[in-house]
Structure formats: C-alpha cells, structure tokens
Structure 1
Amino acid sequence: MAVIAGVTTVFGLVLTLSPGSDVEAQRISSQLDLDSGELRPALSALAVEAMAAEEQEQATPLFTVEEQQRAARIAAAAPSRANIADQQLVTDNQQQKPPVEEVTAPPEPQLTEKTFEVKAGDTLSRLFSRAGLNDSAMYQVLRGEGLSDQLGRLRQGQQIDFVLNEEGQLQQLTLHQNRTKKLQANLGEEGFKTTEVSREPDIILAFAGGEIESSFALSARRAGLNNRLSSNLASIFGWQIDFGRDLRRGDRFSVLYEELHVDGEKVGYGRILSANFHNRGKNLTAILFTNSEGHSEYFAPDGTSLRKAFIRTPLEYSRISSRFDPQRRHPILNRVRPHQGTDFAAPTGTPVRAAGDGRVRHARRDGGYGRTIRIQHGNGVETVYAHLNGYASGIQEGGRVRQGQVIGYVGMSGMATGPHLHYEYRQHGQPRDPMRVALPDADPVPKEQMTAFQTQSQPLMAQLATRDESFQVAMAEE
C-alpha cells in the first residue's frame, strides 16, 4: 500500500452491514476517515438536497426586496381563480332562474250604501222602493233566518241603511233602533240572516236633588230627572209614601243614577243606584242590591226590603168598575152572586203584571173567567187575573214569575161587558178584598249575603252623602 507524505487522503468506503434475522433489513451508509480511522454516518440524499437548497437561498436573489413586496401586493389584490369561478357560477344561475310573476289580488267588489230616515207613514216596502229595490228583495229578507220579523217595526226618526253591489242587488240591510241597538240582515250562502247588534254605552254616575214646592213631578223635572226616572223614584218609595197625598212643601229628595253615553254624548238613563227621600220629618234611604242569583232589588241600609210582597194594583187602570162585594148582583146573570175580587177598567191590551213572585199554576181558559192566570206565591196566597185578551210571551204553567213582570193583557174574554181586569187575592183558598188586605213585607237580604250587601251599599251611600248635604244632616240626626 503506497502512502503519499504530507497529503491526507480520505477514502469514502461504503460498508454494508447485514442485520440479524430478527431485525428488519435496513440499508445503512457510513463514511470512513482514513486519517483518524473513525467510521462516521454518511449523509443521506435528502440531507444533501437540503444543503444544496440552503446554499441556493444564500446565493444572490433574482429580485430585490422592493420588487418582491410589490408582487405580493398585486397577488393579494387579484381574485383567485376559485373566486372567479364561484362568481361566474352565481351569474350563470341568476341568468338561468325564471322571472317571478307578480300576483295581482282580485279587485274589491264595489258596494254602494243608501241611507234613509224613517218618516211618518213609511213602510218597509216604501223604503225598499226608495232604495231602488222591489218587494221581491224585501221578501227575501223577511223570509230569512233570525229576527227578520222585527224589521217591520218602524218608528219615525229611525235610520235605515241599504248596501248594494254593482248589479244593484241587496247585500246588507241595517235598521238603527237607537244609538246602542240595531238590527242587521246580512246575505250569506243560504240567504239573509237578521241579528241584533248591540253597542255597550259608557256609564257615568250622575246626581240630582230637589225640594218639593208644588208637586213632585214638577220638582223632579226641575232637578233634571226625566219622566222614567221620576216614575222609578216614586215606585221605589211607593210602599212607604203615598205620592198623591203624603207629600208636603219642603220635602226633599236626592238620587244617584246612571247616565248612558255614546261617543261622549248622552243617549239615555240607566238605573237608580241609591236614593234618599225626606218626607214629613222621616228620612228614607234606598240602596240597589243585586243578589247571588242576579236579581236586583232596593233595600234600606239595614237590609230590610222597601217593598211589600205584593202589588196592590197590578196594572195602570182608568177606574175601579166593581169592588169586592159578597152581595153584588151579577150584571149579566142579574142575580146576587158574590164578587170575590176587584175589577179594574182599562183599554184592551193594557199590560197586566204579576202582583208578587211566584209560580204559574194555571194559564188557560176558565169558564166565565175567560183567559185566566193563577199564580201561587207561597204561604197559602194565590192571585187570579181573569178576562185577559192574551198571555205575555213565555208565560206557561209551571213557570216562575217576578213581581211586576208582565204576564198578560187586558181584554173581555169570558162573561164580561167591557175590557177590564178581574183581580182576586186568595189566602188559603178564601177570597180577600185586594184593596184592604194587609200585605206582608218582602223578604230582607238573606243573612249569608249581608257581607256582599254591605260591600255594595256603603260606597253608594258615601257618594250620595258626598253630593247631598241634606242627606248628611238626616244621617246625623238618626
């Protein structure tokens, strides 16, 4: 082996080492340094490439830093091919999407409204004619369902509205009965149907008071009470005060009542809620109480009823044509026959009212009495109403009635010489003189409802006292 002095010669020898059979075959490259005799691992091909790349990076760049930064800005600002493709796809889809057609709603039917005021002598047929409609259109409404029979009950001053379509055919008819109620007939698939449409008015509490100078009616009118309110006030205290004979100059009254308003305008009067009457040194107070059954009645502050259990005269009559008389001679039979009741002469059709609460035992013809109603009131009391022209709607045997409820109408059915009501008051089957018999008091507020009564009555009494100084004085005197 020849050795050249001063020169270190390194031969790279590649030795192939074969592993054992239990080790996966692997090729290992090593480098032998001849000077030192050391065996070193040889660099792999990947390492050689990495070293070459590093040397290339350390070489002089092809572009300056400024040029590289400018190129980066241009690349960032330019859209990518993927974005350009997406935008093109959206554009193509928009071009391929069919245009949306606008849906136009069908035009509203053109309706015409004609309004008329009911004048004296007007009929429904005449009003239809004014609206350009014939009797055939009117009969279609009247033959319809609901309350169509009430459309013919016209009063002067009412308003009636006709709503017509383009062909002039009636679609709706409205009869305004007053400011809060109207009858309305609407055309449907099965013809016209008439219903009542009500509008609830606003209720405002009002006060009125006055002093008797010459008559109660005149004093009530001066205080602002209309005929209905003054009549109701007299009815409330009618059991304790005879308004024809007991009133004196200087007597005072005060009333807390309801006013009905629609759109800020007064359209009527409601109920009397509380009232006070100072008569001949005696002070009377009435409070309206509605019990658990929904029945309203006037009571004194202690809960006692202000009315009797029975009305002495169950109708507004012209005169008493025949009184209770066990020895009376019958005007038709011309023989002595006891007259077991009182006859009140009145025009045919005058309303007859139940004298007290009770149950209808008899409502049909009864021999010479003609059309007759008999009412059982409890405690052995029965009242009889004879010679009626007819019965009120809803009156039937077994049904309940309230005191003052209309049950029939004056007539002259049976053995009668003229229109009148024959009225009897019987106690345990025995006839009593209706004009002289002692009438029992009505029931007071039940004990179990006294708390509810006080809850309702105290605010009403407080409001009455606040507005009426004379009431405060009377309460202080008591």
Structure 2
Amino acid sequence: MLTKKLPFILFVVSIFLFQGYNSVSASTSYKKLSEVEILKGVVKQGDTASSLLNKYLPLKTIYEINRLSSDIFSLTHIRKGQPYRIILKGEDLVGFVYEIDNEEKLVVQKENGIFSINQEPIKYDVDLEVVSATITSSLFEAVRKSGESSKLAQKLSDIFAWDIDFIRDIQPGDQFQILVEKRYRDAKFSGYGDIQAAFFTSNGTPYKAFLHKKSNGTSGYYDENGKSLQKAFLKAPMAFSRISSGFSPKRMHPILNEYRSHKGVDYAAPKGTPIKTVGDGVITEIGYNKSMGNYINIHHYNGYITSYYHMNKFVKGMKKKKKVRQGEMIGYVGMTGYATGNHLCFRMNKNGKMVDPLKYKSPPSNPIKPGEMDLFLAKIQKSSEIILSVHKLAATDKKEI
C-alpha cells in the first residue's frame, strides 16, 4: 500500500520543497532589491560625471541630470580631490552626492523614477574651543606649535588685517587667544568654522574682535564697543611676507643703478604667493609693462588708485572693468619687468598724488546699530568669559608645573 502511495508522497514533498525554495529565493531576491548600498569615493584626475555614473545610468540620463543641475551646479565642474557618494538600491542608482566645497554639497535623488536635484549645506558636529599661543617668530609658526593648521593663522590674520600689519607689526612676545568653531564629521576633524572671538596683543597694544550677525543677515567683526574692524583698505596686500623696500623720495634702483624715487612698498615673498586687492574697486588697467612687468591698477570709490606690479601671473578672470572685492585674490608674486627677485611693488595714489601705504589710516565702516547693541554685548561677555577662564586655567597649570 505504502509502495503504491510513495510516488504520490514524493510528488507532494517535491512540490513543497519547490515552493519552499521559491519562497526562499523570492525572500532573498526581495532583500537584495530593498537593501541600500553606499559607495564612497574621491574624484581622481581625469574623472568625469559620466565615468563615475555610466556603470549605473545610461549616458542619456546622465546628460539630462547635468542639464537639470546646471542652474545649481554643473556636473562638468566636478574637481579632483572632492568626495562623492553613489547610493544604490539593489542595482538601481537612487542617489548621488557630490561635495562642492567644505560648505555645500550637490544632492541628486531618484524617487518613483524621477530625479530631483538640490544644493544643501554639509552638516558638521561643531565644538567651540579656545586656542592660544605666544609668538616667538611669526604668527604662522605660533599657530603651528599650538597644534593647529596654517588655515587658522590665515583666518586670524584676515580678522585683524585692517589694524595689524602681520609683516611689520608682529614682535616676539605678542599673544593671541581665539574662540573658534572646530568641525567634525564621523568623529574626525574636518576644519574650522567661524572664529567667534579673538584677542590679539601686538607690541603691547590689545586688539579684540567679536563676530556679530546683523539683522539683515550679514556678519562682520567688531571691537568691544561695537565699532567695525572692517575699513576701506587692508593694511597690506599679502600676509606672511617681508618688506624689502619702503616708500622713499630717493633710492638706488637695483637694476638701473641710479637714484630714483620709490613711490611704493616692495613686499618680498616666494614666487606664487597670492596677492589680494586691499579694497573694493574696479580694474582700470591690466597687462604687461617693460619696467613693471605684469601689473594691475584698481580704482576705488573714494578717489584712490592702487597698483600691483611685477606679478608672475593674474588670477583667472581678471580683466579691465571687472569689479573686485576687498581681499579678493587678483594675482601671484613674481619678478616680471625690472626686478631682481620675487616681490610685489604696491603703490597707492589719491587724487593724483602718491601716498605712502604704510602711513595711510583707513576710516572704519559703520558700527553696530543701537537696537542690536544689547544682544551684541551679551554675546561678547559670554565669549570673553570662555576665553579668559581657559587663559587663567592655563596660567595656573604653568605655575603648578
């Protein structure tokens, strides 16, 4: 009896096993399709959006995404060294994230077969920390010895650039204390945010700066009385260089070997050092001159003209009638024209008369509005307490040692 029923039993078991196998296969397949996989990478030399995405999308779709994103950020502008993420659901690309810079990222998402494109801020974990040091040789060296990077030195020098000439004014024994945002991603340090407050003592003179966001949304640095640190002109067109020759009515020309007036200031610096415009203005002349080499003249709204000579090359996009903003890079140090070494010859002219840039005093910008002073004073009190408490603690620790 059992023998007769065996084929039927085997048939039923085989159906059961087949159904079970299909059930497992379907479950596995479903799991595979629903899993999200994130592929992380960094753009390499020669990479393009097409080369990064063509494994997952047809070229026609990539071109369409680029067309849609062109008003936000063109995919043709991706740069070597920038991180990106490709997000897959099964074998289907559902997202692409490209970091435009340290602040913004391009986010491409696919939902229901439709791509959406947005530019979003990069999120960081932010800690407020106090950094302090005493200068023995230069600001750059002091910041490095404190365990921080040169980028923090640049940020600090930019804040006080209107009041302190970091080429001439820095002396051994000068001190600084900074309350700065340190940014972290995945528990790793990812650079600096804003400096919230900074104290700097230069040659016995104390300077203070506090970051304040005005009611119109713009931010700037102010002293403890609410006066803006920003002025019409920066103290110098470069940071971390030295003055090789000053403004003089009579100077021996190093090439022509004869006495001539020197109506500017020479800043000696390595080839390629960035040069910044000291104030807002419009480029009135740009080109090459046999004696001055590659040069730029900038006309400023208050009757001043500043000139930058002997440049190695100009920053891309510099041209006649271009508007430039204070602190904007315009070129790089070189030794074109009549020059014996790499340097920048910087000149300042007011209403047709040459002015010594080292003696000029620039007027300040507008102070904080009376209606915003209470909020400002409350914030600077809190920032000052943090800096001073850390400073006192450090001094106590030194005494105990």
TM-score, structure 2 length as denominator? 0.63
What's the CA shift for 1:462?
Answer: 3.1
Task: From 49, 52, 71, give the equivalent of 1:128.
Answer: 52
**Partner residue in 1 for 2:348:** 425
Cα distance change on mapping 1:299 and 1:343 into 2, 3 Å:
same
Instruction: Give matches, 1:14-93, under 5 Å.
Output: none
Q: Residue 228 in 1 paired to residue 151 in 2?
A: yes
What's the CA shift for 1:286?
Answer: 2.6
Q: Residue 148 in 1 paired to residue 74 in 2?
A: yes
> Greater RCO between the two (CA within 8 Å, min separation 6)?
2
Cα distance change on mapping 1:420 and 1:215 into 2, 3 Å:
closer
Letter paired with 1:258: E
Letter paired with 1:232: K
Instruction: Give matches, 1:106-185, under 5 Å.
Output: 115-118=39-42, 121=45, 123-124=47-48, 128=52, 131=55, 145-146=69-70, 147-149=73-75, 151-155=77-81, 158-161=83-86, 163=88, 172-176=95-99, 181-185=104-108
**Partner residue in 2 for 1:355:** 278
- Alpha-carbon distance in 2 for matches of 1:444, 1:471: 36
Task: Verify the 8 A CA contact 1:328 1:336 in the aligned structure 2.
Answer: yes
Cα distance change on mapping 1:318 and 1:188 into 2, 3 Å:
farther
Task: Verify the 8 A CA contact 2:48 2:76 in the aligned structure 1.
Answer: no
Deviations 1:245-291, CA, capped at 9 Å, x for gaps: 75445x55322221224466543321111123456655443322334
Task: From 176, 193, 213, give the equivalent of 1:290.
Answer: 213
Q: Residue 439 in 1 paired to residue 361 in 2?
A: yes
Cα distance change on mapping 1:204 and 1:393 into 2, 3 Å:
farther
Cα distance change on mapping 1:359 and 1:181 into 2, 3 Å:
closer
- Percent of aligned pairs with the same residue? 25
Instruction: Give matches, 1:365-444, under 5 Å.
Output: 365=286, 368=289, 372-378=296-302, 380-385=303-308, 389-390=313-314, 397=321, 399=323, 401=325, 403-406=326-329, 408-410=330-332, 422-434=345-357, 436-443=358-365
SS at match of 2:300: strand
- Which structure has the greater CA radius of gyration? 1
**Partner residue in 2 for 1:274:** 197
- Alpha-carbon distance in 2 for matches of 1:217, 1:317: 8
Task: Verify the 8 A CA contact 1:411 1:421 in the aligned structure 2.
Answer: yes
Instruction: Give matches, 1:190-209, under 5 Å.
Output: 195-209=118-132
What's the CA shift for 1:329?
Answer: 9.6
**Partner residue in 2 for 1:45:** none
**Partner residue in 2 for 1:468:** 391
- Alpha-carbon distance in 2 for matches of 1:243, 1:330: 23
- Alpha-carbon distance in 1 for matches of 2:377, 2:267: 41
Matched length: 357
Cα distance change on mapping 1:341 and 1:164 into 2, 3 Å:
farther
SS at match of 1:468: helix
- Alpha-carbon distance in 2 for matches of 1:130, 1:329: 64
Letter paired with 2:41: E
What's the CA shift for 1:160?
Answer: 4.1
What's the CA shift for 1:206?
Answer: 2.0
Which runs of 5 or more structure 1 residues have no equivalent in the other structure?
Answer: 1-106, 474-478
Deviations 1:180-230, CA, capped at 9 Å, x for gaps: 6433456799x9886533233343322233455777555544545332223
SS at match of 2:155: helix
Task: Verify the 8 A CA contact 2:333 2:342 in the aligned structure 1.
Answer: yes
**Partner residue in 2 for 1:100:** none
Cα distance change on mapping 1:376 and 1:180 into 2, 3 Å:
closer
Cα distance change on mapping 1:132 and 1:262 into 2, 3 Å:
closer
SS at match of 2:386: helix
- Alpha-carbon distance in 2 for matches of 1:209, 1:122: 42
What's the CA shift for 1:425?
Answer: 0.5
Task: Verify the 8 A CA contact 2:286 2:319 in the aligned structure 1.
Answer: no
Letter paired with 1:226: S
- Alpha-carbon distance in 1 for matches of 2:121, 2:42: 20
The structure that is strand-richer by fraction is 2
- Alpha-carbon distance in 2 for matches of 1:335, 1:285: 46
Task: Verify the 8 A CA contact 2:86 2:96 in the aligned structure 1.
Answer: yes
